[in-house]
Amino acid sequence: MKTGHDVAIIEVGPRDGLQNVAAFVETAQKVSLIRRLAASGLKEIQAGAFVSPRAIPQFRDMKEVVAGIIALPKVRFSALVPNLQGAREAVKSGIEKLIFFFSLSESHNLNNVRQTKEASLKGLEVIQKNLAAEAPVELCVALATVFGCPFEGYMTTDQILKDIEKIANMGIKEITLCDTVGFGNPRQVEEVTVACLKDFPEITFAVHFHNTRGLGLANALRAYDVGIRRFDAAVGGLGGCPFAPGASGNIATEDLVFMFNEMGIPTGIDMDSLLNVSSYLKEILPGVILSSAVYQAGLPKTQTSGPECGTPNGNPPFPAHQEW
Ligand code: COA
Ligand code: ZN
């Protein structure tokens, strides 16, 4: 089933998930994880981050990881980059979509990338100017702590819109609004996303929710209801920023896919394959608890789990007739 209301789920487990895992995951295992994610139908995957290996040792093998996946067809691979050095390395490895990240809150930015917001914005400009001349890559922005900061608390919608305006003025066409530490609630998500969609119709907005306080899926659904169609999620519900105290997992890809599938909103992702990826994750990270509710509970016995929604008795999922 194809409708104009399909959603894009962006898998961030290999990046947001692994950056918070203490043990180094071997290159071959990272490659295998990403290949399995792609095989489950995910069309866009964050392969990792081209950051200082001193800041995040997990990504010291990015070049080798990308070499092992980049030839996979039908998948768009992106990577996080904090500066021109990372952007150049990413492009050299074959990554086509760069995600420059910085935080709405000054203190989280200083903690995370060790520079002011102003310096980050300059850095973004430098990447854009240099890379536009060097390679045909897409440059997007992930804006952290939009829905709250562990050091500064909540941001006002005005503050959020002002920063987005600065990014939009640089010609960036896609921005991910990140709830880095799970402060967001559905009402706030509605207010912020509605304002963003209204004020910046030329920008594609994605959302990135952490389920730190259990509101991840509620936030995602509210964002969907007001018109957002791009959602970050991490297999197993792994995730968290090592430079934000109290950060915990992203919304689990399994749970988000399950919610949309059950609502009759196609995701193109095969649940059985995805749950096999969760099992593989458990195998390579034996000490790590996977918070995905669907992984823990399994699928309802009466449901099929393929990319097309439906039940074994031929009945559509509830309520398939409704236009979302
Ligand atoms: N990739 C690899 N190495 C990098 C790099 C990059 N993108 N950027 C900087 N470095 C290296 C420099 O070459 C330098 O190495 P050297 O000491 O051997 O000469 C070293 O890191 C310090 O460089 P500097 O520019 O002074 O950076 P910094 O120490 O102020 O750190 C960041 C700034 C942004 C590079 C670093 O804090 C970082 O990578 N943070 C990642 C944060 C993150 O990923 N958070 C989770 C995502 S939300
Ligand atoms: Zn995150």
Judged against a pLDDT cut of 80, whether residue 67 lies above it is answered with yes
Best of 12, 51, 62 to mutate for ligand 1, by most ligand atoms within 8 A of CB? Answer: 51
Counting ligands in written order, the one closest to the CA of 248 is 2
Is the model's pLDDT at 260 over the cut of 70? yes
| Average pLDDT score over residue span 93-100 | 96
Nearest ligand (C-alpha, residue 114): 1
Q: What is the pLDDT of residue 324?
A: 41
pLDDT tens sequence across 110-127: 999 999 999 999 999 999
Q: Which of 153-162, 231-240, 275-284, 301-310 has the lowest mean pLDDT?
A: 301-310
This prediction has a pTM of 0.94
Question: Residue for token digits 């980050």?
Answer: 120
Q: What is the mean pLDDT of the chain?
A: 92
Provide the greatest CA pair distance for the chain: 59
Give, in order, the Cα–Cα distances in Å from 158 to each of 18, 163, 165, 195, 199: 33, 9, 10, 9, 11
Cβ of 123 closer than 6 Å to ligand 1, yes or no, is: no
Give the pLDDT band (50/70/90) at residue 5.
low
Q: Is the peptide bond before 186 cis (omega within 30 degrees of 0)?
A: no
Confidence of residue 144 (pLDDT cuts 50, 70, 90): very high
Please identify every residue annotated as catalytic.
241
- Whether 292 lines ligand 1, by a CB cut-off of 6 Å, is no
Structure token digits, residue 172: 């960036």
Q: Decide whether any atom of ligand 1 lies within 6 Å of the 98 Cβ.
A: no
CA of 74 to the centre of ligand 2 (A): 25
pLDDT greater than 70 at residue 208: yes
Assign 135 a pLDDT band (cuts: 50, 70, 90): confident
Give the mean pLDDT of 82-86.
Answer: 97
Per cent of the chain over pLDDT 90 is 85
- Return the ligand 1 atom nearest residue 101 CA: 48
What is the predicted pLDDT for the residue at 303? 59
Among 53-57, 138-142, 247-251, the least confident range: 247-251
State the pLDDT at residue 315: 63
Output the pLDDT for position 311. 57
Q: Using CA positions, which residue lies closest to atom 13 of ligand 1?
A: 52
Q: Could you report the per-residue pLDDT of 279-323, keeping only the tens digit for each?
A: 999 999 998 999 999 999 999 876 555 545 555 566 665 554 444
Q: Name residues whose C-beta falls within 8 Å of residue 315's C-beta, 6 or more positions apart in sequence.
A: none
Classify residue 281 by burial, with Cβ atoms within 10 Å: 0-12, 13-18, 19+: buried
C-alpha 115 to ligand 2 mean position (Å): 19
- Where are the domains positioned within the chain? 8-314
Protein residue with its CA nearest to atom 15 in ligand 1:
52
**C-alpha 56 chain-centroid distance:** 18
> What's the CATH number for 8-314?
3.20.20.70
**Any ligand 1 atom below 6 A from CB of 102:** no
| CB of residue 48 inside a 6 A radius of ligand 1 | no
